[in-house]
Amino acid sequence: MLDKAIKFFITLTCAIVGGAALHQASPFLISYINLEFFQIETGIFELTLASLVVILLGAFIGGLTGFFVSPYLIDKLRKFTSFVEKQLSKMPIYDVIAGAVGLAIGLILANLLGNAFSRIPIVGNYIPIIFSLVLGYLGVRITIKKRKELTGSLDFIPHMIKDILRSREAAKAEKEAEKVAEKPVPEENAPVEQPSKVNLVKLKEHKDKNYKLLDTNVIIDGRIADISKTGFLEGTLLIPVFVLEELQYIADSPDTLRRVRGRRGLDVLQKIRDMETHLEVEIMNVDFDDIQGVDSKLVRLAQKLGGKIITNDFNLNKVAQLRGVEVLNINELSNAVKPVVIPGETMRVQVVKDGKEPGQGVAYLDDGTMIVIENGHRYLSRTISVEVTSALQTAAGRMIFAKPR
């Protein structure tokens, strides 16, 4: 049905073009016709019979041409639309949206600049077309290439909206608290139960709970769930509400990798809450409006509660220690529980890739420890016996140096 409609419009367009073309040439053609019969006025748009015949002839020729050419044009149009659809399907939806926005901005700028230059003689009528092509193309290319930077520069908007909503809720809660305080409470009434949420005023009451505060990175890492299951941790695991908000923000990120990491963090939290362990898990509804960064808020909360921060972030580890907050770094725990290797000890490993230095090979233990094998390049993709020569402990982990036996 669609092909028939397109064929009809192509035929109609060709007929109109053919009639208009021969109408322009009608004075020249009529000069060869001397019969008075064809010079009669028809009363249709002040056309003579000869002009009408020429127009109808042109429309007939154009329509006939369009009728036979339309299948070829429809086939080319179908291939073009299929090509465009295939290219768009390969692009992420965010790139398509960014390209459309960039095209709109480019065309708006082209329209503004084109009007300013359109009064130039001779070339003035063509400048808006050039501006539209150039600025439209640049708008699409720049917005797609700089999409992440542009969206990153607008990250403050969701945070600003959340801060406004939070301030409104706090003001509303204060008004309700004032109204409740103004009402006299009869002595016979039982004391009203306090809400379960923890406020800044009551932080001192919770210093005896031996809190372990989780930061965003350690939640996303996921190992904290397995550590909690082993029973080595004591006290109460605390997840502040601002850490939850950051996890939700990461899970809603337009970037695929960040979105997967955020959702993994939320799944890890759910796993921790569902585990049957001696550890208590609490979510504290407390925030510090005068502090911007989540890490700084976490350090401040740990200071007020007298708790410890569980993290795998090297920078947060250093900052917290400088501010007198005790830190439990799960990377240090992971390195501490790795088996100790002694120079001269032998082991069997598979060489998986080349090392940084010429001739070196690299292998890995089951726990992820990297082994650099001297002259191990020739054993690539083979399982061999190696002898440990030395081991190096770094902040990032442990590295073992060995040589083939």
Please write down the long-range contacts of 91-98, taking CB distance under 8 Å and 24 or more positions apart: 92/256, 94/147, 94/254, 95/144, 95/147, 98/143, 98/144, 98/147, 98/150
Other Cβ atoms less than 10 A from the Cβ of 292: the count is: 9
pLDDT at residue 193 in the model: 43
- Greatest Cα pair distance, the chain, in angstroms, is 121
pLDDT in tens, 37-67: 455 555 565 566 667 777 788 888 888 888 8
Number of H helices, E strands in the chain: 14, 11
Instruction: For residue 244, give every residue at least 6 positions away whose Cβ sits within 8 Å of its Cβ, in sequence order, or none.
Output: 269, 283
pLDDT digits (tens, 9 = 90+) for 240-257: 888 888 888 888 888 888
Contact criterion met (CB below 8 Å) for 21 and 61: no
Looking at the chain, the whole-number percentage of residues with pLDDT higher than 70 is 80
Domains located in the chain, CATH noted: 2-148 (no CATH), 200-335 (3.40.50.1010), 341-404 (2.40.50.140)
Most confident residue range from 66-70, 172-176, 191-195, 345-349: 345-349
**Residue 183 pLDDT grade (very low, low, confident, very high; cuts 50, 70, 90):** low
104: amino acid identity, one letter: A
